[in-house]
Amino acid sequence: MERDIRSEVYVIKTTDRRRGVEELLKYFEPGNLSGKNIALKANYNSADPFPASTHIDTLSAIVDALKGRGCSVVMAERSGMGVTGEVLEDMGVIELAKRVGFDVVVLDDVGSSGWVHQAPGGSHWKRGFLFPKIFSEADAIIQTCCLKTHRFGGHITMSLKNSVGMVAAHDPEDGYNYMAELHVSPYQRQMIAEINTAYRPGLVIMDGIQGFSKGGPERGTLIEPHIMVAGRDRVAVDAAGVAVLRIYDTTGEVLRGRVFEQDQIARAAELGLGASGPDEIEIIPINNEAQGICSKIEEKIKEKS
């Protein structure tokens, strides 16, 4: 997969989500999103409040920015800890969609014709997985994720892990349970990375205004980095996220080894999905207030142990 030699990760220090999104997007105008059909993946695994789920202000700011560029927007989601339609209703997504004008697709309700079978070479998935056509057929995919640890085997849940909510829970043809396979596998974290071979995002925006440094995904130890992060490289964005968690003291699994030895990141790098190491990442503060935490992020990413 072709990509830039250095992956740029932009960081703004803010508690104003709308300002954060608007300022970050200025660095991605060359991507020319204008007028495109955008498929949006947020983080609505459950009906628990941010940072368990995408903050409604972040979603609103992203949609408004895209629509302001003449884009049509569809958000597709599958929840793992709740009934997706009810989660989206409870979190205010359905009301927002009606008010500002974008489509919402509940992936649990998509029939067999709405999926594309993916079987990456060398994958740990026994029979591959099903990926939604709605994402495959979009002009561009925008992803927004949260900053969290994951106590059910994922270790971290950021942009790579957020892609699990794109995969079918069950095969609509024979009922095969893909999520049961994932969650009992000793290769869960590698399988998470392998899902990401199905697509390449146009942009990832991580809302790290708050996060969970322990626990997760739906509850945990609250931290307040007061940052928002953006990049096109999921590996680089997640590496920056791991560095932030380490700054705030996180779980033993996330503290262990180098950042690029984290299983999700290591497998994604091996698959060519992004940066292969810390020397290929550039952390860029876009306001003066972000300089301090950006320096710390760089230090953590480059640490030898």
Is 5 a residue whose pLDDT tops 60? yes
Of the candidates 217, 258, 112, which has an alpha carbon nearest to the alpha carbon of residue 172? 112
What pLDDT, on the 0 to 100 scale, is given for residue 3?
44
Q: What would the two tokens of residue 226 be?
A: 């007061």
What the chain holds in terms of domains, given with CATH numbers, is 7-302 (3.40.50)
Q: What is the pLDDT of residues 54-68, one digit of tens each?
A: 999 999 999 999 999
Rounded distance between C-alpha atoms, residue 265 and residue 293, angstroms? 21
Q: What would the two tokens of residue 26 be?
A: 């200025």
Q: What is the pLDDT of residues 163-208, one digit of tens each?
A: 999 999 999 999 999 999 999 999 999 999 999 999 999 999 999 9
Rounded distance between C-alpha atoms, residue 278 and residue 56, angstroms? 32
User: Which pTM does this prediction carry?
Assistant: 0.96
